[in-house]
Amino acid sequence: MIALLRKEIRSFLTSLIGYIAIAVFLIVTSLFMWVFPDNGLNVMEAEYATLDTLFYIAPWVFLFLIPAITMRSLAEEQKEGTLELLMTKPITDLQIILAKYLAGLLVVVIAIFPTLIYFLSVYLLGNPVGNIDVGATWGSYLGLIFLASVYVSIGIFASSLTKNQIVAFLIAALISFVMYSGFQSLGTFNLFGSLDRFIIRLGMEDHYSGMSIGLIDSRDVLYFVGVSAFFILLTRLRLQARNW
């Protein structure tokens, strides 16, 4: 599994997809945080030192970038016929999936890492210097990584459904949107009475909202871990179904 993980990481870092995804993420978040005026998100126009803009924008940017990163993970293997060869190696289906999942998540973490420059900038621009809730900021970063982990698991699952990378991208983006915002929107229509709150809790946005302001709740952590595991399990079942 370690050898496959290294191979997957190398494939990301030796192709343009990984670098383009990282660059797009940094450019988009930078524009909203530092350049676009009068949008209610510009850090320089805020009344207090915070990185709330980053943690508000990032989930929406990841909705498209993470499917772009993961779309080739299993779809390309199926298209080129290398998946069957890979499955003959002394490695289980779950290990194959986890290697691709961890590699994709690592690329996302690499994309997030440069945003520490934003944190340092806001820290130094605060009045007085350092007037930012450091603990809440680190908690927000943790919440963003948990959210990204679910997106990656969804992307890997979508990639297992088809040999076409574009189709895999669209499926992953659609499922990710439904999981992040769909349940939230449905629950706010007040169509299901006492079940509305339950429906909202099925979505990621409700769980992420608390973590995005630094509130780490074990129930939210378990939710993200559980949903990631669920889609990894679905991917495993999909691979096993090829032998049925």
- Give domain limits for the chain: 2-241
Place of tokens 């706010």: 188
Q: What pLDDT, on the 0 to 100 scale, is given for residue 234?
A: 95
Q: What pLDDT, on the 0 to 100 scale, is given for residue 136?
A: 84
Q: What is the 3-state secondary structure (H, E, C) of 140-173?
A: HHHHHHHHHHHHHHHHHHHHHCCCCHHHHHHHHH
Token pair of 86 as six digits: 């890979």
Contact between residue 184 and residue 205 where contact means Cβ atoms under 8 Å apart: yes
Q: What is the 3-state secondary structure (H, E, C) of 108-147?
A: HHHHHHHHHHHHHHHHHHCCCCCCCCHHHHHHHHHHHHHH
Rounded Cα gap, residues 115 and 95, in angstroms: 31
Q: What pLDDT, on the 0 to 100 scale, is given for residue 126?
A: 74
Residue 67's H or E segment, with its range, is helix 52-70
Q: What pLDDT, on the 0 to 100 scale, is given for residue 243?
A: 62
Q: What pLDDT, on the 0 to 100 scale, is given for residue 166?
A: 93
Rounded Cα gap, residues 83 and 76, in angstroms: 9
Q: Name, in order, each residue with C-beta under 8 angstroms of 138's C-beta and a sequence gap of 6 or more.
A: 214
pTM of this prediction exceeds 0.85 = yes
Per-residue confidence in pLDDT tens, the chain, 244 aa: 777 778 777 777 777 777 888 888 899 998 888 888 766 777 777 777 788 888 989 999 999 999 998 998 888 878 877 776 776 677 788 888 999 999 999 999 999 999 999 999 888 887 777 778 888 889 899 999 999 999 999 999 999 999 999 999 999 999 999 999 888 887 777 777 778 888 888 889 888 988 887 788 889 999 999 999 999 999 999 988 866 5
Rounded Cα gap, residues 201 and 196, in angstroms: 9
For the chain, the straight-line distance linking the first and the last C-alpha, in angstroms and rounded, comes to 25
Cα torsion through 8, 12, 14, 15, rounded to 10: 130
Residue 170 has φ and ψ, to the nearest 5°, of -65, -40
Q: What beta strand segments (E) does the chain contain?
A: none
